[in-house]
């Protein structure tokens, strides 16, 4: 045991003091089959340096309702504890720094960092791990010999959403990982984890529309606080049991969605986003234009997640601006278009809320006028659960602004002004139900709306957290000129705000020498 060092940590990860100083490698055709194992730190049980050298490692147990994987996954769990609140302010120092070797075979690469129930979660090419918000050390981990796979239907999404390889429940307490199957090229394993402890809740294999069409189509899942809907199966998040199987979706033909309406023009049907309401499933999202303007109206088919056969269609949801949408239907407040991302119109849903026209009937009638301006109609934030009577949350008026936009990884829903200027956006925080302008939030300097407006940027050798006007909110570090910055983002999580930065170091002849992900804990 005495000889065990940093190499015992998953992926040769190292936690360092603040003064320590993403390229995605091509994924192999099939995931690595070796039953290579990894270990991680279970807080209070073993020390960080000795965790990887113990002979006894708890093994995950699939639910009895699910097929057992042909190769063994390994997990270490952490004791359940009280979760800290998400910080309201940024803080003025880097408390800790975690460096992850992105080329290490044990993790394959870092897909992204998400905010779980007890702190940050690192999603890797072979699983996930929880981080202690106080130190950045690993609290729990899950590693599978199979590789992670996209489960959000549209394929390309951002690192802030773990490139679609994993989906959080709206309350953040459950994480569903997509993993390749050792039994079929047309199947995906779904593994559910408790984000507070890392406990494996289920391991369930799903065969999607790909088997019907005999072509590869990414699995699409949607998660509420209680279930995950995978294609037409509704699966319990607690044990992986199949609670319901819905009839085939008539809008899906050979793996593609088609609008079934014949009475409207410019109609498109979309896979709904990967999160539903807290207790509500979105079965379909169809968008069109009632008049001569660009698509400005969406209709969602909603159902309570405890009885998904009882559904209702609700119109009046505001689609995202096509020029700024991402593969989940979200965007950033700045309205930047993203390369290699298929923009979709399905309304963004966050914490179970979406944006809707305040008077849907009047809005629809108004938009049928050839001179109609959808940007002048009053809007409101609406709880999906309230629409299917699983809660009684009242709508929150947003005024008349424009089309919905949203930051990657954000905790808030934003409505851009008609001129598209970020500072004119009106932003809704579902957690507090507060409505605030971006400029007002920046002046205040605290709260979810303020934090969502910040970005991580590289200027010369400096890596900083910056405000929309380019001013520096917090300096993170300086990098040598040979270090090439690839992407970075901010994740407000329970107990800590983390800045995630991916870079590579190049040799003098221009070849890539090392790829790393650096996570800064800010306080």
- Backbone phi and psi for residue 11, each to the nearest 5 degrees, phi listed first: 65, 25
Show the domain range for 303. Answer: 259-453
Q: How far apart are CA 173 and CA 448, in angstroms?
A: 19
Is the torsion defined by CA of 441, 442, 446, 451 positive or negative? Answer: positive
Degrees to nearest 5, angle at CA 501 with 499 and 502: 160
Buried b / exposed e over 303-335, threshold 16 CB at 10 Å, is bbbeebeebeebbbbbbbbeebbbbbbbbbbbb
The domain total for the chain is: 1
Question: Which stretches does DSSP call E strand in 246-371?
Answer: 252-253, 256-257, 265-270, 280-289, 297-304, 312-317, 353-357
Is residue 499 in some structural domain? Answer: no
Q: How far apart are CA 284 and CA 297, in angstroms?
A: 14
Residues 6 or more apart whose CB falls under 8 angstroms from that of 218 comprise 149, 150, 151, 152, 153, 154, 155, 164
Can you give the pLDDT at residue 399? 83
Is residue 188 in some structural domain? Answer: no
- Backbone phi and psi for residue 373, each to the nearest 5 degrees, phi listed first: -120, 100
Is the distance from CB of 468 to CB of 450 less than 8 angstroms?
no
Residue for token pair 């991680």:
40
- Summarize pLDDT for 358-394 with one digit per residue, the tens: 999 988 888 887 776 767 789 999 999 999 988 889 9
Q: How far apart are CA 366 and CA 371, in angstroms?
A: 9
Is the distance from CB of 200 to CB of 157 less than 8 angstroms?
no
Is the torsion defined by CA of 392, 393, 398, 402 positive or negative? Answer: negative
Is residue 477 in some structural domain? Answer: no
Q: How many CB atoms lie within 10 A of CB 30?
A: 12
Tokens coding 394: 């009242």
Is residue 279 in some structural domain? Answer: yes
Residue for token pair 């390749």:
180
3-state secondary structure of 391: coil
Is the distance from CB of 523 to CB of 498 less than 8 angstroms?
no
Q: Is 44 exposed, middle or buried (0-12, 13-18, 19+ CB in 10 A)?
A: exposed
With a cut of 50, list the residues of the chain below it in pLDDT: 1-70, 155-156, 209-216, 325-342
| Confidence (pTM) | 0.81
The 3-class secondary structure across 290-313, one letter per residue, is CCCCCCCEEEEEEEECCCCCCCEE
């Amino acid at each position: 045991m005495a000889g065990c060092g940093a190499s015992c940590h998953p992926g040769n990860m190292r936690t360092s003091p603040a003064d320590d100083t993403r390229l995605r490698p091509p994924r192999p055709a099939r995931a690595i089959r070796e039953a290579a194992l990894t270990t991680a730190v279970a807080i209070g049980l073993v020390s960080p340096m000795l965790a990887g050298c113990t002979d006894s490692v708890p093994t995950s147990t699939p639910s009895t309702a699910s097929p057992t994987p042909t190769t063994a996954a390994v997990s270490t769990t952490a004791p359940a504890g009280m979760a800290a609140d998400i910080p309201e302010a940024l803080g003025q120092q880097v408390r800790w720094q975690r460096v992850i070797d992105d080329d290490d075979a044990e993790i394959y690469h870092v897909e992204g960092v998400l905010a779980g129930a007890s702190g940050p979660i690192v999603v890797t090419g072979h699983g996930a791990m929880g981080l202690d918000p106080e130190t950045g050390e690993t609290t729990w981990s899950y590693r599978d010999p199979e590789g992670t796979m996209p489960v959000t239907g549209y394929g390309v999404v951002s690192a802030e959403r773990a490139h679609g390889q994993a989906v959080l429940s709206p309350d953040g307490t459950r994480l569903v990982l997509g993993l390749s199957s050792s039994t079929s090229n047309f199947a995906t394993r779904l593994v559910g984890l408790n984000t507070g402890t890392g406990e494996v809740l289920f391991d369930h294999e799903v065969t999607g529309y790909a088997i019907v069409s005999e072509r590869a189509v990414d699995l699409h899942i949607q998660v509420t606080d209680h279930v995950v809907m995978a294609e037409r199966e509704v699966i319990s998040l607690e044990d992986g049991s199949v609670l319901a199987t819905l009839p085939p979706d008539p809008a899906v033909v050979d793996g593609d969605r088609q609008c079934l309406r014949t009475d409207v023009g410019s109609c498109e049907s979309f896979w709904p986003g990967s999160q539903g309401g807290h207790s509500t499933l979105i079965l379909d999202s169809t968008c069109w234009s009632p008049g001569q303007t660009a698509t400005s109206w969406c209709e969602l088919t909603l159902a309570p997640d405890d009885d998904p056969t009882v559904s209702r269609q609700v119109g009046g949801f505001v689609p995202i601006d096509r020029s700024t949408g991402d593969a989940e239907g979200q965007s950033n407040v700045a309205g930047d278009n993203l390369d290699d991302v298929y923009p979709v119109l399905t309304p963004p849903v966050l914490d179970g809320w979406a944006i809707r026209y305040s008077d849907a009937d009047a809005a629809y009638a108004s938009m049928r006028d050839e001179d109609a301006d959808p940007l002048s109609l009053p809007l409101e934030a609406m709880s999906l659960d309230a629409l299917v009577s699983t809660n009684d949350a009242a709508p929150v008026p947003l005024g008349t602004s424009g089309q919905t936009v949203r930051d990657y990884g954000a905790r808030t829903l934003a409505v851009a002004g008609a001129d598209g200027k970020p500072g004119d956006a009106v932003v809704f925080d579902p957690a507090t139900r507060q409505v605030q302008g971006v400029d007002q939030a920046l002046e205040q300097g605290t709260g979810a709306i303020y934090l969502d407006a910040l970005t991580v940027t590289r200027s010369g050798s400096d890596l900083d957290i910056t405000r929309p006007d380019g001013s520096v909110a917090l300096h993170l570090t300086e990098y040598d000129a040979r270090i090439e910055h690839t992407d970075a983002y901010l994740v407000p999580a329970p107990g800590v705000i983390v800045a995630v930065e991916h870079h590579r170091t190049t040799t003098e002849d221009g070849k890539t020498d090392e790829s790393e992900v650096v996570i800064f804990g800010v306080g």
